[in-house]
Amino acid sequence: MLNALSVDLEDWYMGLGVPPHKWNLCEDRIVKSTGKILDLLRGFDVKATFFVLGWIAEQYPELILAIKKENHEIASHGYLHKCVFNQSAQEFEFDLKKSISCISKITGEKILGYRAPCWSIRKKSFWALDILKRYDIKYDSSIYPVKFPFFGLPGDKRYPYLINKNLMEFPPSVIKILGKNIPFAGGIFLRMFPYWVVHKGIKLINKKKQPALIHIHPRELDENFSPVKYLSFKWKVFQTIRIGKTEDKFRLLLKNFRFGPIKDVFSKFCEK
């Protein structure tokens, strides 16, 4: 079973209470931390989908070219890492269009996928899906089927599905325990759970003949960096807790499962 691996390509200070006008004041770590992910993926001969923030593409075009050179898929994570539910349809369209334009200008390729910052497509922001279709996006990966303070649509589907004509949805993987969807496959959840839980979660999903979707951020492999002077205590904990445990877990995942970019998982999935 081919599972999907995704990387949200943004730096540590994005979307966590540091407004965009202060981003230029923050220490850049993205080139180094992405290099670590690329080395690991190369070592295990795994390709992934990189959801690239347009702002990052504009600042680091060589980084995007380095990702492309290794044959990873490049998709959009918006331009300024703004939550969809905090934007008007017009603002969202502007942000999406800008991200697509500055990423595809670098890669020369069409963008097939989109992931909203902070999983911010919820019921009240479903209008965004029509806009994605208008920009010929073929799949979305923004709807987290869990209940969480900042995001989530509890009870939504757990596996890839056709959300409406010509647009697939690939939710981040969760497992159902006592009727509740429990996230385990990325971000703080991947960091918090021991490896065996993540392993078991993927096995359970694959047993149902469904692909799992894992996600990771470059900062989660940047264990020597502490953003303490920039972030509030809450955000520092959220962002860095058990960061030192991520690399070993990530290596084990790459060793024990088959992973590919989302577009490849979808093409296999649609063949069925």
Residues that bind Zn ion (CB under 5 A): 8, 10, 117
Residue 160 or 186 with smaller CB distance to Zn ion: 186
Residue whose CB is nearest to Zn ion in the complex, by number: 8
Q: Nearest approach, Cβ of 89 to Zn ion (angstroms)?
A: 21
Q: Nearest approach, Cβ of 28 to Zn ion (angstroms)?
A: 16
Q: Nearest approach, Cβ of 200 to Zn ion (angstroms)?
A: 27
CA 118 vs. chain centroid, Å, equals: 9
What residues are paired with 5 via a beta bridge? 214
Residue 38 or 80 with smaller CB distance to Zn ion: 80
End-to-end CA distance of the chain: 12
With beta carbons less than 8 A apart as the criterion, state whether 19 and 236 touch: no
Residue 158 or 219 with smaller CB distance to Zn ion: 219
Q: Nearest approach, Cβ of 23 to Zn ion (angstroms)?
A: 13
For 70, other C-beta atoms within 10 Å of its C-beta total 13
Residue 44 or 148 with smaller CB distance to Zn ion: 148
Residue 217 or 249 with smaller CB distance to Zn ion: 217
Largest CA distance in the chain: 51
Q: CA 57 to CA 104: how far, in whole Å?
A: 9
Q: Nearest approach, Cβ of 238 to Zn ion (angstroms)?
A: 13
What are the b/e assignments for 247-270, b being 16+ CB within 10 Å? Answer: bebbeebbeebebbbbbbbbeebe
